Structure formats: C-alpha cells, structure tokens
Amino acid sequence: MCVHGVFSGPALQRLNNSCFEAVVVTNTIPQEENMKKCSKIHCIDISMILAEAIRRTHNGESVSYLFSHVPM
C-alpha cells in the first residue's frame, strides 16, 4: 500500500515481475496509465474523505473523527 504512487523509471516493470499480488495506491496522483501497464496496481478513490475533511475544517468540526469514521 502506498499513498502517492509515483512509479518512475523501471518501477512498473519491477512490479510486473514481482511476486506481489497487488499494490494499492490512492488517486492523489492519476494512475490510469500505470494501471494499463501493470495489472497489479489497484487504485482507491479518496475524494469523499478529502471533501469531508475540508467540510469539517470549514465548519470547525473535528477532523480526527475521520480516523474512526471513514465516509464511503
């Protein structure tokens, strides 16, 4: 699992040749092209949790609440 999947140089080739079943990344960096080149990359959309964090910050609410209550 990685948050910001920066796959540079031979990273995709190395992943394809690895024994990993999957590598899970967030969509903080576009992954469409990498996912086409490497079927082991799985991307999780985090837009809802970012939106909720922004809303909570704007309204003066607790952001730490999101650590145990992830919006889906």
pLDDT tens, 30-41?
999 999 999 999
pLDDT of the residue at 70: 76
pLDDT of the residue at 2: 86
Contact in structure between 33 and 51 (CB atoms under 8 Å): no
Q: Any idea which fold 11-67 has?
A: Rossmann fold (3.40.50)
Domain parsing of the chain, residue ranges: 11-67
pTM attached to this predicted model: 0.77
Contact in structure between 15 and 40 (CB atoms under 8 Å): yes
Mean pLDDT of 18-31: 95
**% of the chain exceeding 70 in pLDDT:** 99
pLDDT of the residue at 72: 67
